[in-house]
Structure 1
Amino acid sequence: MKRLFVENLRPGDTVEEVFLLSSKTLARKKDGNPFLRLVLSDKTGTIDAVMWDNVEPADAAVAEGMFVRAAGNVSAYKGTPQLTLTGLGPCDPGQVDAADFLPVTTGDVNAMFRRLLAMTRAMTSPDLKQLLERFWDDDDFVENRFKRAPAAKLMHHAYLGGLLEHTVAVAELALAVADRYGDRLDRDMLLAGAILHDIGKTREFVYDVVIDYSDEGRLLNHMVLGIMMVEERIAQVENFSPERANLVKHLVASHHGTREFGAVEPPKTLEALVLNHIDEVDSKVVGIGTFMDSQDPRQKWTAYHRPMERYFYMGNGKES
């Protein structure tokens, strides 16, 4: 179990710990001898490292993206900690807890999943209820994919369990809106779309060592993958109406709202229109809220938020 994290490293510390090797460059000193420049990371951040001795064996033994066991001493270089390595070698991934290297939801994933099960059981549409149950009956999918997947690489819920957290939030919003507008909305259809809209993110991302896009995620995106996954499960439900199948898939295809923002089609049902907006609400509240949390609490305004092209007001600012 990892005991020492990047955020705790201080000049003068002696280190022997497991890190993720994020970057490695073999360079040459003025005398022609090789040395290594590296970036080591865990869930708390990154630290620059350098290795001067026994360079070539270390370079041959490790590669970017591997877990490594690093030994050395922390010093200050240009005002920031730097690790000078005396030893570097591979670490068995089976002995590593991914949660030490990837951010994780602070919520209880089992409690959140139980909430989704309760929503599913309360549905009155047999076809949609059975569709969701086909996903939930797949233990490998639930435990190793759905409960672990992030909802994004950077923008919002970008941590293990983030997809489940986001899905529950959007589903809760869907029920609230459905209660407000009554028969104008198909409550179960909207709820099914809320639960399934990002299901493709279980395959769009890899999240064992780092959070990044998978090959099929880059080639197809989570909406296309989600439609494929829904089609696979619909095929397991007897007598599922083709029209209803198209409506469910349309919710997945259109939840980004416009083609400009990645939607396969714009929303063309009231349920799809609502889903687009409630998805946007949770994404923005969590994403921008996380950004604001990272800012200096003594300031009234955040730094410039490039994705939204604006500053955000935080209040009067107080000394911490």
Structure 2
Amino acid sequence: MLKPLVLTAGASFQETFLLHALDFKKTRSGGTYAELTLAHGSDQITGTLWVENQSELNLAEGQLVSIQGHVTREGDEFQIHIDMVEPILGSDLDPTDYLSSSNLDSETMFGALRHTISTIEDQDIRSLLTHFLDDPELSSRFRNAPASLTGHHNYSGGLMEHVLSVLHILDDMEKHYQRYYPGLVDRNYLLAGGFLHNIGRLFALHWSGPNTMQNDTQVIGHRIKSVVMLDKLAAQITGFPPAKLERLQHLVAAQKGATTNWGDASHTIEALLVHDVTRIDAYLGQFFGVCQKDVSSAWTQFELVFGGRLHNPLTTEHPGPSKFWTPQINLHDTVEIKAPHVESVFVSPVLPEDNPEPPPAKANSATRKRTRKSSRGAENELPAAIRDLFGPEH
């Protein structure tokens, strides 16, 4: 466990970091400088270094680097003016120590994932995903992998946190739409798509050598890697139906291509929902990470991915929980799989009886006023089937 950074403005500085991002920028006068985003456990800081040309720095994102320089402060934000930076090679240092980690307990998340997968009704799909979770190498990578190197959920366990969050949203969404549009969404493929959509990250982002995290998505994107991994998993399941594999392949290949030219268009409702939910969860995860950087201000620094500064709800007055939910699941229970009970939201008309009662006696004017008032209340009352959709507060 790394000790937190202790920074003093004006002091000289020497420390080891994980190089999260490297960017070259120009000043107004035409000078070139390198901007390094540096990770040190839960701390992240920016460092700047003057360079004549980009070839001077033989660095790669994901490396451990040794930094020497001095600390500056602008407002509440610390920066490092770098005098020297060197890659660290052949050291006993563990690069994963320099990644921050998920706020959620790894075992709890993994158990919740296994529980959710066990509720999938389709035996072939359930066997495929269970085989993934039972594989020692895949499950170990899955527990520790970030979802990205510099974007959303960019910390140890971030991929598993992202996938679990996506599965919970998709599961709730399927229940919701079964009530409105029964039979439209297939829960088996919906949850499978949420689980599989990012598995290529396990080998796209990996520790490729001493003290270096390799990002292999530049040439072959993680979507293609995900499809390749899916094919290998299916090949290990005896008699896995080709038609089901093709539909799962589409779920993975269509990500980031719902209705755009970024990739394959989504041709199934499950692919469309997985695409949109994963994108929303990625934005929320990145938004949360940005706001966590500094809870002392109601506004963040300029964030390029969002196109401006963000209002920060995680201020010192409302910092939010240090830990999130804990699933109330007995992970040793046997899960009984039942088809969901679907109630239509539509109300059957009330047909007239064969022998209607005789009309009531003629009422006086006072009675008629009370009757009209109570009738208007009854007409405005929602049918029970509709009220149940929105809860008692409506």
User: What is the TM-score normalised by the length of structure 2?
Assistant: 0.60
Q: Deviations over 1:188-220 (max 9, x none)?
A: 111011100111111222357465522xx2221
* Partner SS state of residue 227, structure 2: helix
Match runs of 1:119-198 below 5 Å: 119-143=116-140, 145-182=141-178, 183-198=183-198
Q: Across the two proteins, how many residue pairs are aligned to each other? A: 286
Structure 1 partner of 2:224? 224
Structure 2 partner of 1:10? 8
Structure 2 partner of 1:307? 305
Match runs of 1:230-269 below 5 Å: 230-258=230-258, 260=260, 262-263=262-263, 265-269=264-268
Q: Within 2, Cα distance between the matches of 1:303 and 1:48?
A: 17
The sequence identity of aligned pairs, in percent, is 23
* Partner SS state of residue 229, structure 1: helix
1:290 aligned partner, one-letter code: G
> Is 1:213 the counterpart of 2:215 in the alignment?
yes
Q: Please identify the structure whose Cα radius of gyration is greater.
A: 2
Q: Within 1, Cα distance between the matches of 2:87 and 2:184?
A: 62
Aligned 8 A contact 2:9 2:71 in 1: yes
RMSD, aligned CA: 4.0
* Partner SS state of residue 206, structure 1: strand
Aligned 8 A contact 2:258 2:272 in 1: no
> Is 1:97 the counterpart of 2:98 in the alignment?
no
* Partner SS state of residue 219, structure 1: coil
Q: Within 2, Cα distance between the matches of 1:136 and 1:240?
A: 17
Q: Within 2, Cα distance between the matches of 1:304 and 1:15?
A: 26
Q: Within 2, Cα distance between the matches of 1:17 and 1:46?
A: 13
Residues 257, 47 of structure 1: alpha-carbon distance in 2 compared, 3 angstrom cutoff: closer
* Partner SS state of residue 236, structure 2: coil
Aligned 8 A contact 2:295 2:312 in 1: no
Residues 101, 125 of structure 1: alpha-carbon distance in 2 compared, 3 angstrom cutoff: same
> Is 1:278 the counterpart of 2:277 in the alignment?
yes
* Partner SS state of residue 220, structure 1: coil
Match runs of 1:49-88 below 5 Å: 64=59, 67=64
Query: How much has 1:255 moved relative to structure 2?
Result: 2.1
Q: Within 1, Cα distance between the matches of 2:254 and 2:20?
A: 36
Q: Within 2, Cα distance between the matches of 1:309 and 1:49?
A: 25
Residues 137, 77 of structure 1: alpha-carbon distance in 2 compared, 3 angstrom cutoff: closer
Q: Within 1, Cα distance between the matches of 2:286 and 2:219?
A: 25
Structure 2 residue runs without a partner (length 5+): 22-33, 51-57, 319-394
Structure 2 partner of 1:109? 106
1:169 aligned partner, one-letter code: S
Query: How much has 1:81 moved relative to structure 2?
Result: 5.5
Q: Deviations over 1:33-52 (max 9, x none)?
A: xxxx9x895423355799xx
1:181 aligned partner, one-letter code: Y
Moved more, 179-188 or 126-135: 179-188
Aligned 8 A contact 1:200 1:222 in 2: yes
Residues 221, 46 of structure 1: alpha-carbon distance in 2 compared, 3 angstrom cutoff: same
Residues 41, 136 of structure 1: alpha-carbon distance in 2 compared, 3 angstrom cutoff: same
1:239 aligned partner, one-letter code: G
Q: Within 1, Cα distance between the matches of 2:19 and 2:275?
A: 38
Higher helix share: 1
Moved more, 235-244 or 224-233: 235-244
Q: Within 1, Cα distance between the matches of 2:230 and 2:18?
A: 35
Q: Within 2, Cα distance between the matches of 1:21 and 1:271?
A: 37
Residues 191, 318 of structure 1: alpha-carbon distance in 2 compared, 3 angstrom cutoff: closer
Residues 261, 104 of structure 1: alpha-carbon distance in 2 compared, 3 angstrom cutoff: farther
Structure 1 residue runs without a partner (length 5+): 24-36, 51-62
Aligned 8 A contact 1:41 1:47 in 2: yes
* Partner SS state of residue 184, structure 1: coil
